Structure 1
Amino acid sequence: MKRLPRAAAVLAAATALLSTTSVPALAAPPVVERATYTNAVSKSFADTFADPSLIRGLDGWWYAYGTSDPLREGETTPAEIPVARSHDLATWDYVGTVFNDANRPSWAAGGAGLWAPDIRYVDGEYRLYYVVTNTTQPGVNDSAIGVATAPTPAGPWTDSGAPVVAPRPGGNGAAGDDFLWTFDPSAVTDGGRQYLFYGSYYGGIYVSELAADGRTTTGTPTQVAIDNKFEGAYVVKHGGYWYLFASTADCCAGPTTGYSVQVGRSKKITGPYVDAQGTSLTASRTGGTPVLNQNGNRWVGAGHNAVATDLAGRDWIVYHAIDRTDPYLNGISGINERPMLIDRLDWVDGWPAVRAGRGPSAGEQQGPATGGRWSTDLATGVPARWRTTGPWLRRSEEQAGGFVRSNGRATVLSGRVGSSARVEADLRSDGPSYGLTLRSGSTTVRAVVDPGVGRLRLQEQRGGRTVDSSTTRLPAGFTAADWHAVALQVRDGRAEATITHARLGDPVASTTLKVRRAATVDRAGAFADGAAVDVDNLSALPVAKPVTKLAPTPVPKRLDRSASDSFSGDRLRAGWSWVRQDDQASVTGGALRWPTEAADLNGPGGNAGVLLRDPGKGDWAIETKVSIDLGTDDVRNYQQAGIVAYADDDSFVRLSHVAIWNTRQTEFGHEQRYAGSPEGVLHAGTIAGPPAATTWLRITHRVDPANGEHELRGWTSRDGRTWVKGGVWTLPAGSDLKVGLVSHGGAGATARFDWFRLYR
């Protein structure tokens, strides 16, 4: 993976013909308990919809926002931050664009791209953060972060008039185009404070605190992820940790795109973030636990994600990916076609994994829980099947559509839900306390938002008497008169109450309580302790059953000694052969020692040596233990050593510990022929787990019975026991594969291979 050229990264912009669309009189979304879907979910309105961001609006609809690109094949004019909406997260309709000629940011240069939107709802307004690739200030490629606000998710949008994060000069301050990549904003609430994550490969990822109005940053930025590995930050809180999702590798290399998502976590929002191995995301031997990577089906380059929670409490990840059979929008040198996908996000042993580690889905899937019998947007008042006490009045406004308002003490309650339940609603108050309730027989669990004393209380009551409770302070500046999403969930004897701005995993306040296990929740809903409490988008559903184990990934375990080599003695065992023999490689001291060659395999002129042997037929795995003196922190492009599965110089996969600028990574590279490519071949890579001074590398192989393709997955380990599963590359059916070792990318380092093993 080489640094992406900044000039080539800026889209040629044109004035959008589409206009910002406001939908003031939305119909209520249909009630759908759980729809099925097949990726890509954006196919109904767009062929490409990159860098998606997602929110559920106060009107009950879900909205998605994407990077500015032409939406369909054959089109050439970018839709400047396109917007779509859905009632079930499975079926989407086009709404319009955020920007047009009338409201385009005045501080954006005429040729600037508007990229990577991040949508939030804070303090009564929708805020959309986005990238401007070039400003009107002197300089070239001086990217910056902007923000626009709107009363509704569909607009109309008003830009703030100036950058939130201004262009940041790089290390070569005198150069007119040397600016750090100020890309990929992600705004996050931590209690009563707002933060903004931003950055990319050139410069790294930083977090800054935002002013209360979200339009400027304050204080000194903190770096949370190293440069030359990560971009596309997205941050959520789960189980007491903040999780920093970030994308890695090249986003846009056609069918060889290896973009993927990795994660680190921290107790503090400002870090430090470490992966499941305890390796920091700012270390030179860079950490990162894979969350989403390709699995051998049609989808490659899956990355730049957002996360949202459905009405049953299950998390879902939205992201873009590339169909390797249709990778470009307009010609092979044009825009990579990156539609929007959605899949289940599981949490196993404290770490996220897409579909229990299976990766992007290609067939029909069960969709999110977005409605059902006990779900209502209250647009026409309280439905007859809901039980009410006290008076509720129908109200409406542009932002929320229809909702109900209490006229004294009042409740609105569902019927029977199940043995575990989650109730949530958008709530606000002009003074009285309010909240949510779950009742099972004589036991009631209540989440009480009490603006008068500034507390969120979680109570367990029996026979009307409180027997246990927990409490937390509402943050300073909490305004009960603004809409907030409140959720109350009870499962397996544990209750949790959470207040967020918009269900995006960044709580304003939360608290938990151990409670009596319920047989059946027979009432769930919202309550008001006085007049002028507003309720909207009320739902009560059984809690989603969590996934507790990762899906198994078979790894051959029977050592084939005849196809392996311990590198004892002074020569290679029989069975090895060379492509371009390197006489500097030697077996000595119980290892194969191989100085890195000033050569490479990439491109049509591949000239590096490759040491190979025949793995035979069927499923197999190859492994090696390699030490290479790459050091840390300094720039040493692109010395590397590792293992390879090789058909020929233009068809191979290679897993190496490699120096990429100041970082050290494990890159699983891929080269394939591609008709029409200027070089005749395409090559890129995806990233596996963190390396160490000594790193264990593995490639597993199977043949897809449906199409005969060779599926090859990369794995890495820092200790030879705990393995990190990486992504899958495919090689064409019928390829005659050999396997072996490489050591190249530039002179100046020496690789020591302790052994080579083949398992069946």
Structure 2
Amino acid sequence: MSAGFADSFADPAVVRGLDGYWYSYGTSDPLLEGEGKHHRLPIARSSDLVTWTYVGDAFGEDELPPYAAPGSLLWAPDVRYLDGRYVMYFTVTNTTTTPHEWDYSIGVATAPTPTGPWTHVSAPVVPPRPSGDAYWNTIDPAQFTDVDGRKYLYFGGFFGGLWMTELTADGLRTVGQPQQVAIDNKFEGSFVVRHDGYYYLLASSANCCAGPTTGYSVLAGRATSPRGPFTDKEGRPLLASRAGGTPVLDQNGDRWIGTGHHAQLTDLAGQDWMLYHAIDRADPYLDEPFGINERPMLLDRLDWIDGWPTVRAGAGPSERSGEAPVTRGVVDDRFTGDLSGWRGGTAGWSVQEGYVRHGAGSGTLTARQGSGGDVRAETNLRLADEAAGGLRIGGARVQVSGEQLTVTAGGVRRAVALPGGAASWRNLAVTVKGPTITAQVGAADRLENPQATVRLDSPTPVSGAFGLVARGAADFDNVSLTRLAKPVTRLVPTPRPGRLLDADEFDGRGGGWQWVREDGAAKVDGGVLRWPVQGGDLSGSANAAGALLRTPPEGDYIIETKVTLDLGEDTVRNYQQAGLVAYVSDDDFARLCQVAIWNTRQVEYGRELSFAGRLSYGANIVGPPARTTWLRLVHQVDPVNGEHEFRAASSADGKTWTWGGVWTFGKDTAPRIGLVAHGGAQPAVDAEFDYVRVYRSR
């Protein structure tokens, strides 16, 4: 999506401006190959969310916050429209308040328009947070406003975990003490939305910037409060040592890897979309290899299936998609001209500079295009004291006042209270699906955080004239009416084991194994392969660990194992692990293991390969492990390019599987498959493999 103006546009944020354009904000990297200049939070604009134009930087070279040390970088912006102005939160990498070089803090600035001018607040909204002789990763802010009008800020990263703090009404300072909402060493890049009564915390996991082995992905948990506790689809807490997280976006074997650090939006038809960055595995660096990772901005459909978000129904990033957001409706007026698109009753209405105003008394402005069927309508709305305004759809009226949101249809009326006043712009969105009318009021940035929702089943058909209704002084802008998007309700199929092709049940009858650096301590005993975790490792140049391999069948297949590895919980045990491996050589492999990473326990799907004369290693995260964990690698040959694709899955019970990302091997390679148990010998622990089975996949 950023190809028209930037080779790299990482950590994208997005809002819709009051002028009807969409604005995206990126982290402070060079935009173009060979440019060599860091932009301080670059800004791009689009009318359709597909074609973007660079419009400038939020800050100039000498416009750092007053508390930032010289040379500080500004990362990961988050922009919201709060109470009549735009507020930008961002990471400041270094401050003058401590002697430490990386004492991260969260800065904040305000502006009257999406492009500025931006004015720094004199103090960080979240200052550096010390941890011994270092500082917690106080990075990657994301603001959220709840239905009661309270404002929150989510922030944090791998060192320290994810945190939430309440904000003052203006959004510029914190209230009380921050509260941890997700464990450290697993997440960063928070984004929170409220959907169907739940609060969803989505965050990125694994490494953002490992070039050709970047395995970044997006995971989710949900709660009934913005304060948590957040749990995943299987009920596993995001704060646990074996931290949960339901996959939302993973690399799928196409061009794009490292898919993450996202923002979300809703188009005019009611379809959600995810804006994120990724890495082209064939061109992972902006300039020289092993420099700045090149992370262009992408956009894909975000579906809600069985109460959980997932990109393209679980298919992952698109390489060439014909889908695009709906950004114009059959009625679509930004009020930059006259009222020629409207008929009758225009008295009392006047076009101002980019919006239409209703004066005193009551009035209706009717569009020439009527409504029928399932539709979605919306407007930005600003009300004077004691005024009310809204939308008319056939016989239904939806009105906002300073205190409540009201829906009336067929003689039935329903209303809910609205927090705060109505002096600044708000967004009113109304969907009609059959007899059901759903009205929501939220911020004018349209970031799916409704302040109030009303649903009403109309006793009469909802079709006919469409227009604006007002009582007293009311301003309207960005009015649209379009067909309602049809939601995707079924996940794409996942691979399933078919006919058993090969197996070793470790009952003394198996064979066909070949060792790389045989470990004499590995023994078959009592129906299991018991392998003491080795002190060496397979990653890096030392290549001190062993691998137990076998030749796979031709074509598509699934290899599965059940491994018991008692890594305990919470304590630091780096980096003991055991599981499956797809192996070409010591410098060309992918391993799927349950692993101890500091105090967390994760299922990591790591990849090592040689790139530009050096070794590169990165990882993708799958599901949380148990003491006994089931692991699968699903192999297929890409019919277009002949590459070997291995997709990962894990399970804590052998029945419910969590699917992760895909790593690929060249078409001229011949990966073998097998087992590993390595990463650290202290404290001593055995990996126990119950079986290895190879199935035809279906």
TM over 0.5: yes
Matched, 1:688 2:622: yes
Question: 1 CA distance for matches of 2:613 and 2:73?
Answer: 27
How far is the alpha carbon of 1:751 from its aligned partner? Answer: 1.1
Q: 1:204-243 to 2 correspondence within 5 Å?
A: 204-243=161-200
Matched, 1:648 2:585: yes
Residue number in structure 1 paired with 2:144: 188
Alignment counterpart, residue 124 of structure 1, candidates 55, 70, 84: 84
Question: 1 CA distance for matches of 2:639 and 2:343?
Answer: 52
Alignment counterpart, residue 112 of structure 1, candidates 72, 75, 78: 72
How far is the alpha carbon of 1:365 from its aligned partner? Answer: 2.3
Matched, 1:429 2:383: yes
Question: 1 CA distance for matches of 2:460 and 2:288?
Answer: 59
Matched, 1:758 2:694: yes
Q: Note if contact 2:532-2:685 (Cα within 8 Å) is conserved in structure 1.
A: yes
Residue number in structure 2 paired with 1:352: 309
Which structure 1 residue ranges, 5 or more long, are not aligned? 1-40
Residue number in structure 2 paired with 1:523: 465
Q: Note if contact 1:525-1:540 (Cα within 8 Å) is conserved in structure 2.
A: no
Matched, 1:538 2:495: no
Residue number in structure 1 paired with 2:435: 493
Matched, 1:179 2:135: yes
How far is the alpha carbon of 1:390 from its aligned partner? Answer: 4.5
Question: 1 CA distance for matches of 2:605 and 2:7?
Answer: 28
Question: 1 CA distance for matches of 2:36 and 2:576?
Answer: 40
Q: Note if contact 1:432-1:528 (Cα within 8 Å) is conserved in structure 2.
A: no
Which structure 2 residue ranges, 5 or more long, are not aligned? none
Question: 2 CA distance for matches of 1:549 and 1:342?
Answer: 21
SS of alignment partner, residue 725 of structure 1: strand
What do the CA deviations read for 1:206-232 (whole angstroms, capped 9, x no partner)? 000001111110112111110000000
Letter in 1 for 2:163: Y
Q: Note if contact 1:378-1:404 (Cα within 8 Å) is conserved in structure 2.
A: no
Alignment counterpart, residue 506 of structure 2, candidates 567, 576, 599: 567
Choose 414-423 or 127-136, whichever is displaced more: 414-423
Q: Note if contact 1:423-1:436 (Cα within 8 Å) is conserved in structure 2.
A: no
Question: 2 CA distance for matches of 1:559 and 1:459?
Answer: 61
TM-score by length of 1: 0.89
What do the CA deviations read for 1:308-359 (whole angstroms, capped 9, x no partner)? 1111111110000000111101101210000100010000000001011111
Alignment counterpart, residue 667 of structure 1, candidates 575, 595, 604: 604
Alignment counterpart, residue 320 of structure 2, candidates 338, 348, 363: 363
SS of alignment partner, residue 255 of structure 1: helix
Q: 1:499-518 to 2 correspondence within 5 Å?
A: 499-501=441-443, 502-516=445-459, 518=461
Q: 1:55-70 to 2 correspondence within 5 Å?
A: 55-70=15-30
Residue number in structure 2 paired with 1:20: none
Residue number in structure 1 paired with 2:493: 552
Letter in 2 for 1:341: L
Alignment counterpart, residue 96 of structure 1, candidates 51, 56, 68: 56
How far is the alpha carbon of 1:407 from its aligned partner? Answer: 4.2
Q: Note if contact 2:22-2:47 (Cα within 8 Å) is conserved in structure 1.
A: yes
How far is the alpha carbon of 1:497 from its aligned partner? Answer: 1.2
Residue number in structure 2 paired with 1:471: 415
Question: 2 CA distance for matches of 1:619 and 1:545?
Answer: 34
Q: Note if contact 2:358-2:470 (Cα within 8 Å) is conserved in structure 1.
A: no
Question: 2 CA distance for matches of 1:386 and 1:307?
Answer: 36
SS of alignment partner, residue 356 of structure 1: helix
Matched, 1:420 2:391: no
What do the CA deviations read for 1:102-129 (whole angstroms, capped 9, x no partner)? 5321111111110000000010000000
Residue number in structure 2 paired with 1:632: 569
Question: Percent of pairs identical after alignment?
Answer: 51
Letter in 1 for 2:310: A
Residue number in structure 2 paired with 1:450: 401
Residue number in structure 2 paired with 1:147: 108
Alignment length (residue pairs): 690
SS of alignment partner, residue 59 of structure 2: coil
Q: Note if contact 2:342-2:366 (Cα within 8 Å) is conserved in structure 1.
A: no
What do the CA deviations read for 1:673-724 (whole angstroms, capped 9, x no partner)? 21232xxx21111001111111110000100111110011000111111111
SS of alignment partner, residue 498 of structure 2: coil
Choose 228-237 or 546-555, whichever is displaced more: 546-555
What do the CA deviations read for 1:495-554 (whole angstroms, capped 9, x no partner)? 211111121011222222233484x73323321022x10000000111100000011233
SS of alignment partner, residue 365 of structure 2: strand
How far is the alpha carbon of 1:50 from its aligned partner? Answer: 0.4
TM-score by length of 2: 0.97
SS of alignment partner, residue 23 of structure 2: strand
Residue number in structure 1 paired with 2:361: 408
SS of alignment partner, residue 325 of structure 2: strand
Question: 1 CA distance for matches of 2:477 and 2:358?
Answer: 9
Letter in 2 for 1:470: R
Letter in 2 for 1:483: W
Q: Note if contact 1:131-1:184 (Cα within 8 Å) is conserved in structure 2.
A: yes
Letter in 2 for 1:449: V
Question: 1 CA distance for matches of 2:678 and 2:321?
Answer: 43
Question: 1 CA distance for matches of 2:346 and 2:199?
Answer: 40
Choose 375-384 or 647-656, whichever is displaced more: 375-384
What do the CA deviations read for 1:640-685 (whole angstroms, capped 9, x no partner)? 01011111111111100000000000000111121232xxx21111
Letter in 1 for 2:136: L
SS of alignment partner, residue 130 of structure 2: coil
SS of alignment partner, residue 3 of structure 2: helix
Matched, 1:483 2:425: yes
Q: Note if contact 1:572-1:587 (Cα within 8 Å) is conserved in structure 2.
A: no
Q: Note if contact 1:107-1:161 (Cα within 8 Å) is conserved in structure 2.
A: yes
What do the CA deviations read for 1:14-42 (whole angstroms, capped 9, x no partner)? xxxxxxxxxxxxxxxxxxxxxxxxxxx10
Letter in 2 for 1:188: F
How far is the alpha carbon of 1:380 from its aligned partner? Answer: 1.7
Matched, 1:164 2:164: no
Residue number in structure 1 paired with 2:634: 700
Question: 2 CA distance for matches of 1:654 and 1:525?
Answer: 59
SS of alignment partner, residue 626 of structure 2: coil
Q: Note if contact 1:525-1:539 (Cα within 8 Å) is conserved in structure 2.
A: no
Question: 1 CA distance for matches of 2:673 and 2:561?
Answer: 12
